[in-house]
């Protein structure tokens, strides 16, 4: 990576390593993507964990397990980026109603209703909510792909968009 003298001066005496170059390669959109997608994914994982004991349909349980296994590692990845970028990690949003500030987030009341449901009622509620949740994540991923600069973040945003679009198609089949 070619750096100007003024950029080099800001780095002290050490020469830039590839990891430093990668860390330097981010913008506000990348930070916003990771900062917002972490609690968004955490809520989806929380919903998926409810399905383990409340869902009636094996297909819903399988989908929930798939969502959890995909999103847990993505949370770890994005947490690592924020740490590497010296950006604050999002606070634990448990119990906070983020539905007005992030697309697709469930309100506290919606989460309580889901928690109180079981069987076929849970399945219907979970599937309907997860479509809304995934649509929000897809919108956030689209913004990252348009406005972000970090290659890894843009790549993950594309993977999230592809996976969750596919999951929405599966959910719609389950609802019919």
DSSP three-state, residue 103: coil
Domains and CATH numbers, the chain: 24-88+101-175 (1.20.1260.10)
Tokens found for residue 176: 């019919």
Q: What percent of the chain has pLDDT over 90?
A: 77
The mean predicted confidence, pLDDT, of the chain is 86
* C-beta separation of 68 from 45 below 8 A: yes
Q: DSSP letter for 87, please.
A: -
What was the pLDDT predicted at 73?
96
Strands annotated E in 50-166:
none
pLDDT at 91: 79
Task: Identify any residues that bridge with 119 across adjacent strands, giving them in sequence order.
Answer: 55
- Evaluate if residue 15 carries a pLDDT over 50: no
| Backbone angles phi and psi of 167, in degrees to 5 | -65, -35
- pTM reported for the whole predicted model: 0.83
pLDDT over 90 at 172, yes or no: yes
Spatial neighbors of 157 by CB under 8 A, at least 6 apart, are 33, 140, 141, 142, 144, 145, 148
Closest by alpha carbon to 161, among 133, 147, 175, 140? 140
Angstrom distances, CA of residue 159 to CA of 46, 71, 123 = 21, 11, 26
Q: Within 13 Å of residue 61, how many CA atoms lie on the same side as its CB?
A: 10
């Amino acid at each position: 990576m070619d750096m100007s003298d003024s950029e080099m001066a800001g780095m002290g005496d050490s020469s830039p390593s590839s990891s430093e170059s990668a860390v330097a390669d981010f913008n506000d959109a990348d930070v916003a993507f990771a900062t917002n997608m972490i609690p968004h994914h955490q809520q989806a994982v929380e919903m998926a964990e409810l399905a383990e004991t409340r869902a009636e349909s094996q297909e819903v349980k399988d989908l929930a397990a798939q969502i959890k296994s995909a999103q847990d590692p993505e949370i770890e990845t994005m947490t690592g980026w924020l740490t590497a970028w010296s950006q604050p990690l999002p606070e634990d949003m448990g119990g906070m109603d983020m539905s007005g500030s992030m697309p697709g987030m469930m309100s506290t009341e919606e989460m309580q209703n889901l928690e109180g449901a079981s069987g076929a009622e849970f399945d219907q509620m979970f599937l309907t909510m997860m479509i809304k949740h995934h649509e929000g994540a897809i919108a956030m991923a689209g913004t990252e792909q348009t406005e972000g600069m970090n290659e890894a973040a843009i790549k993950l945003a594309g993977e999230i968009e592809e996976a969750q679009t596919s999951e929405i198609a599966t959910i719609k089949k389950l609802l019919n």
